[in-house]
Amino acid sequence: MAAPFASSSRPEPKTLVEDSSEEDGAKAQTSPKTGLETKSPAQRDALRKRHSSQPAEKDQTGLDLPPPVQEGTAGPSQGAAQKAPLLDDPEAGDADDDDSSGAPSPYVSRRPEEYLRSQQREPPAAAPRWLTEIYTISYLIFFSLLGTLARLGMQWLTFYPGSPIVTPVIWANFAGCVLMGFLSEDQALFRDEWSTVAQGGEKPGHMTEMEATNKAERNKRKKIIPLYIGLAVGFCGSFTSFSSFARDSFLALSNDLPTPVNHPGDLASGSPTTTSAVPRPDGYSFEAWAAIVIATLALALGGLMVGAHIALALESLTPRIPKRLTRRFIDPLIVFLAWASWLGAVLLAIWPPDRPSGPSSHGSWANETWRGQALFALVFAPLGCLLRFYASLKLNGLVPSFPLGTFAVNMLGTAVEGMCFDIQHVGVGVMGRVGGGRVGCQVLQGVQDGFCGCLTTVSTWAAEIHGLKRRHGYMYAAASVLAALCLMVVIMGSVRWSVGWSSPVCNTGYTNKILG
């Protein structure tokens, strides 16, 4: 009886699978002992080396067989089944990775931003801070020159006989606000800064992934791009001028605002001037001041919204500016163009090529008008633009509900504008020449059009009014207008109503245009 009992209680050892059935494979993996466990450690090491050097065994189908699983370990399918969270388990997606190391988490347990992060390309390395600073300054210099020329050209074009609005700077302020509204609302020009471009059959510039940041975050990123700073702060800020608006509003109040020659009777009276005006009651002077203020504010805020609507309407047609092209080609080129242009303006102002005393001149000193109208303004324009940029950068964040930096530069530019206007229209020096002579008058006009015109801005002012809360926006707008009026009354009014003004000896930008 002992033999049958012993044979029934001790099962025969199993060998490797000879059949491809799942049942025999499971029995072979759960055998009590393997050949390696019955040998000494040295023999087991030798067998392991021999098996590792031999090619993998193949089954009847010709496929490689997986290595035998040692006791205490689980196969790939078994481990994945034990460690992967269930799709129906609501808490499976929030489980920590400590319990599931070695097994990838299922797609449904990953948040959308985690999935997109793995799909995004690595952004190119950012430029050093000092290099970005040089690019920004160069863009500001270059676009301040262009903005000044655009403003002077717009004033000349819009001051003509029969003009319904006699302050020409209002159209420059409107055009600058339209461009500022477009740049603020546009999401296509600089889309390379926060998105990747489609690949394959998609159209170039098409956004291929869900945007990871909202509009406010994109605007923050956009405001640190040197090219955007050059366009918004440099060009738009220099294209518009708060000091010229404040000067014209006071001239309307004092009945000294230059107006075009409108009627034939003006020509019959002798030599017509743009500064001659008939007396009027004080009530009409207040109406004239209010008309300048209301028209400027309405056109500035309206232009800002028009520009934003244009950006939305043309979003699908607006091309993108490639980041690689900007960083490798445009940024270094602007450094050369900006400083060379500014230096060229300075040299031409010092040594103009067509002096009346020179060999190539065919006229008199009265014909030398272009230097005072443009060159001196270009000499002083970058200084005002850079001062406005850094003052706003340092002061605007001090009071969130009141942009102190923009307010400060607008008031400073208005004060300098009033002082230069007074000196330009009174006798100066021992000789008592008005404005200090022709060159002195031209330099003062260059300070007004260049330094003060670029130091002050209407485009940024209108954008800040629109961006603030309603109560804060009204307070900011009213404070700016009233403070500018008070400064002009004190600075310009004290001279106008005491010693009076004389006609300047140089061209101040208000041409007669008698022939149309």
More confident: 32 or 499? 499
Mean pLDDT, range 422-429, rounded to an integer: 88
The answer on pLDDT for 208 being more than 50 is no
What pLDDT is recorded for position 42? Answer: 66
Confidence of residue 259 (pLDDT cuts 50, 70, 90): confident
Check whether 309 has a pLDDT greater than 90.
yes
* In a domain? residue 358: yes
Considering only residues 189 and 68, tell me which one the structure prediction assigns the higher pLDDT: 189
Residue 100 clears pLDDT 80, i.e. is over it:
no
Q: How far is CA 282 from CA 55, 153, 287, in A?
A: 107, 33, 9
pLDDT number for residue 220: 80
* Residue 4 included in any domain: no
pLDDT at 508: 79
**What is the residue range of 490's domain?**
129-200+213-496
pLDDT at res. 341: 96
461/467 Cα distance (integer angstroms): 10
Residue 105 lies inside a defined structural domain of this protein:
no
pLDDT at 203: 45
- In this predicted structure, what is the pLDDT of residue 267? 53
- Please, what is the Cα angle at 173 between 448 and 166, to 5 degrees? 80
Q: Please say whether the beta carbons of 68 and 34 come within 8 A.
A: yes
Residue, of 415 and 427, whose pLDDT is higher: 415
Q: What is the mean pLDDT of residues 192-215?
A: 49
pLDDT of residue 187: 85
What is the rounded average pLDDT for all residues in the chain?
77
Tens digit of each residue's pLDDT (9 = 90 or more) over 460-480: 999 999 999 999 999 999 999
**Residue 150 neighbours by CB distance under 10 Å:** 20
- Mean pLDDT confidence for 23-34: 46
Asked if residue 259 is part of any domain, the answer here is yes
Q: What is the mean pLDDT of residues 251-278?
A: 70
Which pLDDT belongs to residue 505?
83
53 within some domain: no
435, two tokens: 């404005």
Q: End-to-end CA distance of the chain, in Å?
A: 135
Confidence of residue 205 (pLDDT cuts 50, 70, 90): very low
pLDDT band of residue 164 (cuts 50, 70, 90) is confident
Per the domain annotation, does 70 fall within a domain?
no
Among the listed residues 331, 345, 339, 422, the one whose alpha carbon sits nearest the alpha carbon of residue 376: 345
pLDDT at residue 313, rounded to an integer: 94
Does some domain include residue 123? no
Residue 343: CB atoms within 10 A of its CB come to: 10
Residue 44: what pLDDT?
A: 66
* Tokens matching residue 54: 């031999």
Bridge-based pairing of strands 433-434 and 427-428 is antiparallel
- Reported as type and span, the H/E element at residue 427 is strand 427-428
Better-scored residue on pLDDT, 87 or 221: 221
Answer yes or no: are the C-beta atoms of 260 and 276 closer than 8 Å: no
Number of domains in the chain: 1
pLDDT at 52: 56
- Dihedral sign for Cα 245, 250, 253, 255, please: negative
Can you tell me the mean pLDDT for 357-365? Answer: 57
Q: Going by C-beta distance under 8 Å and a sequence separation of 6 or more, which residues neighbour residue 35?
A: 47
**CA 35 to centroid of chain Cα atoms:** 73
Residue 31's pLDDT is what? 47
Do the Cβ atoms of 423 and 435 come closer than 8 Å? yes
**pLDDT value at position 119?**
47
Predicted pLDDT of residue 467: 92
Q: How confident is the model at residue 456 (pLDDT cuts 50, 70, 90)?
A: very high
Longest Cα–Cα distance in the chain: 150
What residue spans of 209-322 are helical by DSSP H?
215-222, 226-229, 237-239, 242-253, 264-268, 282-313
pLDDT score of 386: 97
Question: Does residue 347 sit within a domain?
Answer: yes
Residues 492-497: what's their mean pLDDT? 94
Q: Which whole number is the average pLDDT over 92-99?
A: 46
Mean pLDDT across 55-59: 50
Q: Categorize the per-residue pLDDT at 439 as very low, low, confident or very high, splitting at 50, 70 and 90.
A: confident
What does the pLDDT read at residue 271?
55
The per-residue pLDDT for 331 is 92
CA-CA-CA-CA dihedral for 134, 383, 351, 244, to nearest 10: 140
